[in-house]
Structure 1
Amino acid sequence: MRFATLKNGTLDGRLVLVSSCSQRAVDVAPLAPSLLAALQQWDALEPALRVLAAALETGTAPGAFPFDPALCSAPLPRSPQWLDASAFLNHGRLMERAFNTPPIPHFDTIPVMYQGASDDFLGPCDDVPMPSEADGIDFEGEFGVVCGPVPMGVTPEAALASVRLIVQINDWSLRALGPHEMKTGFGFLQAKPSTSFAPLAVTPDELGDAWQGGRVHLRLHVESNGQWFGHPHGGEMNFGFGQLIAHAARTRRLTAGTIVGSGTVSNQSRDAGSACLAERRVIEILDEGAAKTPFMRYGDAVRMQARWPDGREGPFGAVHQRVVAAGADVAEGR
């Protein structure tokens, strides 16, 4: 099944199911008013949701209408919890060099994760307001999962069974603010603005063989201002999502609707390019002695879309966003 949420002026939006061709949608309101509500009642609702999804595929769903991703919010416009990891060790090690921070102990055996803001996610085509170009505006392409309830102390194997949906993410970062916040020991706050999501959240079966070992085995194609930037493969993830969820739930329960991110998709091969500007800048420093690629400025755009191995558009749809200036009162800190 493929879910999307249309903007309708409410905090949680209008939940719809979307056809496999991404051309048609049908309202889910008779079953659940929002995706969060559906996740909270998943076991009871899933059979009826699958019946409705099947009717949409055969063209027999009553009230079906054309689907337009430009009208979408994030699939979950807000979530009980947003946890983001750094599960691609190649990216993490490059970032250590970027920020000149000491190596993290046990980095290759214990996942690194922070808790981000989950009250104001952005949709796939929303403009992204930023207070200052001097903050080092950066995109970060990654994958994520949306969980059902997860008990404290769950094993990685059992944790993987809690995955209800898979999503594609653009986790915005302000690189100039990150080093100070990391050094405080309290984690990210201002360095992590609202996170963006591709329009569709899909059940694991929609990925077929591309969902293996708790990893998304697809390339994430990234364009910056219309130019190829990278197509790293999600299968190179060092910690699978079962391990990440278990790490998050070691000392607490996770409620339905919790989102866990992979961190920036990153491959060791330089031919794969990158999914964020900071990584490319570090590679330029290592290879050429200086960073040449600038961070984003107002008016710059980024596009991200996972694709199937044969080049077809992938299951999540595309994130296509433009950075804009926030209001003057925000930029001046009022």
Structure 2
Amino acid sequence: MKLATLDDGTRDGCLVLVSRDLGAILACDDVAGTLQEALEDWDRVSRLLAAMAERLDHGGAAGARPFDAGAMKAPLPRAWQWLDGSAFSTHGQLMQLAYDLPPVPSDIPLMYQGLSHRFAAGHEDMVFPSAADGIDFEAELAVIVDDVPQGVSPEEALGHIRLVMLVNDWSLRVLGAAEMRTGFGWVQAKPACSAAPVAVTPDELGDRWKDGRVHLPVMVHYQGGRFGEADAGCMDFGFHELIAHAARTRALCAGTIIGSGTISNPAYNVVGSSCIAERRAIEKIERGAPHTPFMQSGEAVRIEVRQRRGSLFGAIDQRVVVAGRD
């Protein structure tokens, strides 16, 4: 099943079903008005939505209309919680080697709690105060859970994953480096994330959903060409393990979003990277200094996952706008 949130002028939008080919939508406000409402009553609501989705996919749903990505918000325009992991060790190792950073633990997931009260739509311009702050994209996958009890095991956590989504975790790298030195974590360096318009249930992935991982490449296009196409299945910790880590000492409420961190592969010289910072780290290691600049006003990035049927989540296709004067 595929779900999206139609922008109806309210903060949380209106929940709609989306056909598998991303060709049509169907309002489902008689079942659940918003995605958050659906997540809080998932066992009941999902059965009703699945029956409606079956009719939509077979052309028998009265009231269906064309899908328009530009009319959609993020699947969850605001969430109770955004917990972002760093589940790809290659990314951390490259950054550590390039900038002589201290080693990080490899036996537990890395995770921070970021801004959750706003997720930008995948088509809207992103406004930043200054290009001097080091504007960077980060292609990630994420999962949305229902209510997760404290102390859940990784095996039990798998059963709490309700939806998978595609995220651009925007970062301001110059500010991030300064904030990391304080030891208090990120605030200014982590503005709102963006999300592709469609969230999907894990069964939509077929055999590409395995071991709490999505075994598909995530394509990043930047500066008119392919920037990266790293396999999201190369996570050192699966989403179920990230959830169990987050829930060790607290319960997670329905609508919590758990991110994978920047997608990165050991074969980065073949598949490329999912953020500029990693490309710069590789350049520093191999050429002595970084050469790829961070994003400037007017530049755009496109992030997408494709299957045989076409785009899985729809695309994140965004332009940077610098509001201040540099």
Return the TM-score normalized by structure 1. Answer: 0.95
Once the two structures are superposed, residues 48-87 of structure 1 have per-residue CA deviations (whole angstroms, 9 ceiling, x without a partner) of 1111101101111121000011111100000010000000
CA distance in 1, matches of 2:218, 2:239: 17
Matched, 1:112 2:110: yes
Other structure's SS at 2:119 match: coil
Aligned-pair RMSD on alpha carbons? 1.3
Tell me if structure 2 keeps the 8 A contact 1:145–1:241: yes
1:249-328 counterparts in 2 under 5 A? 249-269=247-267, 270-308=269-307, 313-326=310-323, 328=324
Name the residue aligned to 1:169: 167
Tell me if structure 2 keeps the 8 A contact 1:3–1:202: yes
Name the residue aligned to 1:90: 90
State the Cα distance separating 1:97 from its structure 2 match.
3.7
Tell me if structure 1 keeps the 8 A contact 2:98–2:282: no
Structure 1 letter corresponding to 2:225: Q
Tell me if structure 2 keeps the 8 A contact 1:136–1:296: yes
State the Cα distance separating 1:313 from its structure 2 match.
3.0
Once the two structures are superposed, residues 69-125 of structure 1 have per-residue CA deviations (whole angstroms, 9 ceiling, x without a partner) of 111110000001000000000011222345543112xx2210000000111110010
Once the two structures are superposed, residues 167-197 of structure 1 have per-residue CA deviations (whole angstroms, 9 ceiling, x without a partner) of 0110000000112211222211110010000
CA distance in 1, matches of 2:102, 2:194: 30
State the Cα distance separating 1:11 from its structure 2 match.
0.7
CA distance in 2, matches of 1:313, 1:266: 23
Structure 2 letter corresponding to 1:18: V
Q: Which runs of 5+ in 1 are unaligned?
A: none
Matched, 1:201 2:199: yes
CA distance in 1, matches of 2:286, 2:203: 41
Name the residue aligned to 1:220: 218
Structure 2 letter corresponding to 1:95: M
State the Cα distance separating 1:18 from its structure 2 match.
0.4
Once the two structures are superposed, residues 226-258 of structure 1 have per-residue CA deviations (whole angstroms, 9 ceiling, x without a partner) of 211010001111100010000000000000000
1:46-125 counterparts in 2 under 5 A? 46-104=46-104, 107-125=105-123
Tell me if structure 2 keeps the 8 A contact 1:72–1:199: yes
State the Cα distance separating 1:131 from its structure 2 match.
0.5
Any runs of at least 4 consecutive aligned residues in structure 1 with deviations exceeding 2 A, and if so which?
95-101
CA distance in 2, matches of 1:32, 1:159: 24
CA distance in 2, matches of 1:225, 1:68: 25
Tell me if structure 2 keeps the 8 A contact 1:305–1:313: no
Matched, 1:16 2:13: no
CA distance in 2, matches of 1:249, 1:100: 32
Other structure's SS at 1:259 match: strand
Equivalenced residues, count: 325
Name the residue aligned to 2:37: 37
CA distance in 2, matches of 1:98, 1:200: 36
Return the TM-score normalized by structure 2. Answer: 0.97
CA distance in 1, matches of 2:311, 2:111: 27
Change (3 A) 1:245 1:271: same
CA distance in 1, matches of 2:206, 2:106: 28
Tell me if structure 1 keeps the 8 A contact 2:119–2:195: yes
Identity among equivalent pairs (%): 53
Q: Which runs of 5+ in 2 are unaligned?
A: none
Change (3 A) 1:52 1:182: same
Structure 2 letter corresponding to 1:69: A
Stretch moving more, 163-172 or 283-292: 283-292
Tell me if structure 1 keeps the 8 A contact 2:125–2:319: yes
Structure 1 letter corresponding to 2:6: L
Tell me if structure 2 keeps the 8 A contact 1:16–1:26: yes
CA distance in 1, matches of 2:82, 2:100: 27
